[in-house]
Amino acid sequence: MTDTAKQGTTVKQEIDARGSACPGPLMELIRGIKAAGVGDAVAVLSSDPGSNKDIPDWVDKIGFELVSNEDLGGYHRFVVRKTR
């Protein structure tokens, strides 16, 4: 699935982790990012409130780019670009 996120970023994969408890959404994102190529963006949907801290913290720690973090009412959509 490809779709265009904010800032003209093309999302190569979207992972629906809604309903998954922490650390499930982060682990799903990590799995998706590992399979992605450099420059690709992966989106993850999460209804777990812990993801609002865990995912941005992990992205910052690993050195990737958090393209967007959208509150979509009951869940968030994080778009992460693999930069290396």
Task: With H, G, I as helix, E, B as strand and everything else as coil, classify residue 6.
Answer: helix
Task: Tell me which amino acid residue 19 is.
Answer: G
Q: What is the rounded distance in angstroms from the CA atom of residue 80 to the CA atom of residue 33?
A: 8
Q: What is the rounded distance in angstroms from the CA atom of residue 36 to the CA atom of residue 42?
A: 8
Is 22 a known active-site residue? yes
How many residues are recorded in the chain?
84
Q: Kindly name the residue from 14, 22, 24, 47 that is annotated as catalytic.
A: 22
Q: Which residues are catalytic?
A: 22
